[in-house]
Amino acid sequence: MSNVNFDLLERMKDRLDKKGGPPDDGGMEARVAKLEAITEYIQRDIKELKEDVRAIRTTDFRILFGAIIAVALGLAAIMAKGFGWL
């Protein structure tokens, strides 16, 4: 037979059946509502951050692409002058 402590199981069941005990002291609804409101604010802020990152990526890509082309043309000019093509 298994060694089940029925007294412990009964105490645990009684604790779960009680209303207004330490985990649920009547303010649970208010705490959950507050957490839901905070979650909504966090979701809104994350959405704004994602939009900002997309805008920065587009701008940075254009600047980086322009810089790469400028450097490539500059190096081509230096090489052409060095080889006497210009």
Q: What is the DSSP string of 35-56?
A: HHHHHHHHHHHHHHHHHHHHHH
Q: What is the reported pLDDT for 21?
A: 57
Which residues of the chain, if any, have pLDDT below 50? 1
Amino acid at 60: D
What ranges do the domains of the chain cover? Answer: 6-82
| pLDDT of the residue at 64 | 85
What confidence score (pLDDT) does residue 75 get? 94
Whole-number pLDDT of residue 1: 45
How many Å apart are CA 71 and CA 65, to the nearest integer? 10
Q: Which two tokens stand for residue 11?
A: 């105490």
End-to-end CA gap in the chain: 98
pLDDT of residue 80: 92
